[in-house]
Structures are given as C-alpha cells and as structure tokens.
Copies of this chain bind each other. A is one copy, B any other.
C-alpha cells in the first residue's frame, strides 16, 4: 500500500467488503475471519514496554517482507497508529479495519493494510498479531483461505507461541486454541419487524455463537445489523468452526427470507409506506442523528432488496452507513463539529448521495 493507499483509505468510505454482490449479499453484508497469534519470547501486548513493542512490530514487518508473504500479497503497508490523527484512527474502526483496542496506548500499535482493505493485520492489539480478512457477502471459506495463507507465510519466519495441548496461546483464554474468530454481519430487518429476532438470536446463542450489534460489544443492533460469531476457539478445527457458522447462518438467512415473504404477503402496504417514508426523510431531512440515519438506511436497504425502491444499490447504502458514522463526519467537518453541526452535515452527505442519481 502506497501513501496514496492510506490517504485513499481515509478519504473514501468504501472498502473491499462493501463491494456488495457477494453470495446472499442482500442480507449478508460481510464475512470476516481473523486469527490471533503471539510471538514466543515476548509478553502479551498489554505488558510490553515501548521498546519491546517496537521489536514486535519490527519482527512482523520483516516477516511480511519475506518472499513467502510477498508471493501471496502485495500492496501491503504498515501504518503505525501514532502516524495517524485521532480522527483517522477512528475511521479505521468505523470501516471495521481495526478494533477500538488499537486506539489505546497507540504508540505501541500498528496495522498492516492491503490496498483493497480486504486484509488487515493488527499488531499489538490484545495479541501480537490479529490477521483479519473481510469480504462482502457469505464468503467465510474464502476469507479463511486468505487468512490461512498469510498465517502460513508468516509462520515461516515468526516463531508463534503454541502449545501442543492448547493450540495457539493468546492473551485472553477465550481465544486460545485455533485463535480463530469467524463472523458474519447480517441485516435482519424482517425478523425485527415480525418480532422474532430475539427468539432466533437466543437459539443461536445456545448453539455456541455470540450475537452483537454492528459496532462491537455493548452496542445496540443499530440499523438492524447483527454480527454473529463463534464463541469457542478450542476443541474444534478451523474448518469445523467455519462449517458450523455457515450452517447457522444459512438457517438465519432462511428465517429472514421467510419473515420478509410473510411481511410482503400480509403487510405490503405498511412496509412500502415505512420504507418510502424513510427514503423521503433521508432525501430531504436537514439534520439527522447517527441512530436515526442507521435505522432509515436499514429501511431503505430492505426496500431495495424487496424491489419496493429502485434507483439505488445495496452498496451505496452500506457506504452511507459508514459515511454517516461520527469519525467520518468529524473528518469531513474538519473535526470542529458540535453534535448539532454533525447532524446537519450527516443529513447533507446523505442528501447529496441520494439525490445525485436524481
């Protein structure tokens, strides 16, 4: 990734994972796989001093420069968190390229990004390495294959902390074993509207999966977006984890489609009205909160999926969801925005985007 690359990352709300068109891309926004890895001989990141942290970053960079990786990936750029402004760091979070953890004690941390933002490698997050692949639609297999290639390549050079008994060792025991977390981001307005989302997600939890809102733990399911991921990392192979997540995702997709079908049969007028109103409000409002924007964009997205609204793509709407997040707006607004001005700017960005096509 060139300097142009990172500038592009900051200026555009687009990321590879938003390209849309992936399998089941109407409901399944994106698939993500990440593995946690640690280097033997170093304390876990939260115990590292600056010097040792630098050594870890340096070691990873050397490994990335090795032929084994270069043959697989090019256009990689390592960015130290300290090189970025607070707003730029937050944008990476909002684009799902780094976790909020990377914002704390950031002088010790870095991220490696590929030009298309499909691959990101966090250095000195909770673990020394978090290798992530984020793809549009239901592509867990492909995401895992990409992560696995990079992991194998790095392992040629780096000496990972590994136990025959436990598998990959990690700072938090919930990651020990495969060190893998696989997740899908689902847009489930149908299940929310028929009031079944709670039941579905409770079932899913019992099957060993975690459900949370779009922007990580503790956040509400803004815009009817739910992230579903495996809880268990030990005792199952990577492939087993992928398979079982694929399977439960398939069931939720079917239930969401059922819910949408029932809504279209029984409450089409109400649905069309709800979505039309949200579309009209997004096109003409002059101030809008982040929460309302997410909710209305969700409505319009469902309207596009159900062909009740035309002239828009799901991709544009995913992009809007990122463009209307606080940090992206702070950047657009030159960082000097009170909440009112932010709501005004957010409405302006949405209007411009939606009225462009006429």
Chain A interfacial positions (CB closer than 8 Å to B): 269-270, 272-273, 276-277, 279-288, 340, 344, 347, 358
- A283 nearest in chain B by CB position: B280
Min CB gap A203→B, angstroms: 34
A282 touches B280 (CB 8 A): yes
Shortest Cβ distance from A270 into B: residue: B287
Q: How far is the CA of A99 from the CA of B101 in the complex (A)?
A: 71
Complex CA gap A277/B270 in Å reads 19
A198 to chain B, nearest CB (A): 28
Protomer copies:
2
In the bound complex, residues from chain B placing their C-beta under 8 Å from that of A347 are 273
Interface contact A285-B269, CB-CB below 8 Å: no
CA distance A288 to B274 in the complex (A): 11
The 10 closest A-B pairs by CB, nearest first: A280-B280, A280-B284, A276-B284, A273-B286, A272-B286, A273-B287, A280-B281, A276-B286, A279-B284, A277-B285
Q: Most chain-B Cβ atoms within 10 A of its Cβ — which of A277, A281, A285, A344?
A: A277
- How far does the Cβ of A345 sit from chain B's closest Cβ, in whole Å? 11
The residue in A281, A284, A285, A340 that gathers the most chain B C-beta atoms within 10 A of its C-beta is: A284
What separation, in Å, do the CA atoms of A280 and B299 have in the docked complex? 15
Write out the residue numbers on chain B whose beta carbons fall within 8 Å of the beta carbon of A358. Answer: 358
Cβ distance A116 to chain B, nearest Cβ, rounded Å: 35
**Residue from the set A281, A286, A288, A347 with the largest chain B CB neighbour count within 10 Å:** A286
Q: How far is the CA of A61 from the CA of B170 in the complex (A)?
A: 99
- Write the nearest CB–CB distance from A267 to chain B, whole angstroms: 11
Contact partner of A277 among B269, B273, B284, B340, CB < 8 A? B284
Bound complex: CA A284 to CA B276 (Å): 5
- Residue ID in chain B nearest A268 by CB atoms: B286
Residues of B within 8 Å of A344, CB to CB, are 269
